[in-house]
């Protein structure tokens, strides 16, 4: 991993967000998203497809998002770039050297 990424490839500014749940008084919870930080990333599409649900066709694109190493990233979090939302599916340190984080993410509502 460290051999195939250069710092200059981190060209996309993303916002990392974490969910905050508050009781809605009816036994459920409302989810709001809180900004954790803004960071630079390399965003590359790696897969795509479509599905048919609720009487509509929806497109999906899987992305590989590479950022500088940052602890505490979990699949409950997401990245945002303007109106684009990337749900994190997995986050890991590809070579164990704490230099990079590779995140596999699904872009929602295409």
* Residue among 44, 45, 61, 48 nearest 9 (CA): 44
**Local structure of residue 83 (DSSP, 8 states):** T
Question: What distance in Å separates the CA atoms of residue 41 and residue 8, rounded to the nearest whole number?
Answer: 10
Q: How confident is the model at residue 110 (pLDDT cuts 50, 70, 90)?
A: low
Q: Considering only residues 5 and 9, tell me which one the structure prediction assigns the higher pLDDT.
A: 9
Please give the residue range of the domain that contains residue 14: 2-107
Q: Which pLDDT score, from 0 to 100, does residue 48 have?
A: 87
- Report the share of the chain in percent with pLDDT over 70: 95
Number of domains the chain contains: 1
Question: What distance in Å separates the CA atoms of residue 2 and residue 105, rounded to the nearest whole number?
Answer: 20
Mean of the per-residue pLDDT values for the chain? Answer: 90
Q: Which pLDDT score, from 0 to 100, does residue 3 have?
A: 53
Q: What is the mean pLDDT of residues 82-94?
A: 95
- pLDDT tens for 30-66 read 899 999 999 999 999 999 887 777 777 777 889 999 9
Specify the CATH number for the domain of residue 23: 2.40.10.270
Q: Which pLDDT score, from 0 to 100, does residue 2 have?
A: 47
């Amino acid at each position: 991993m460290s051999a195939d990424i250069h710092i200059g490839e981190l060209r996309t500014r993303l916002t990392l967000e974490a969910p905050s749940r508050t009781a809605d008084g009816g036994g459920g919870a409302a989810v709001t998203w809180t900004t954790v930080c803004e960071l630079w990333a390399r965003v590359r599409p790696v897969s795509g497809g479509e599905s048919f649900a609720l009487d509509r066709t929806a497109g999906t694109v899987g992305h590989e998002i590479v950022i500088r190493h940052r602890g505490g990233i979990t699949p409950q979090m997401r990245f945002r770039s303007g109106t684009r939302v990337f749900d994190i599916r997995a986050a890991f340190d590809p070579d164990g050297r704490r230099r990079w984080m590779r995140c596999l993410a699904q872009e929602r509502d295409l």
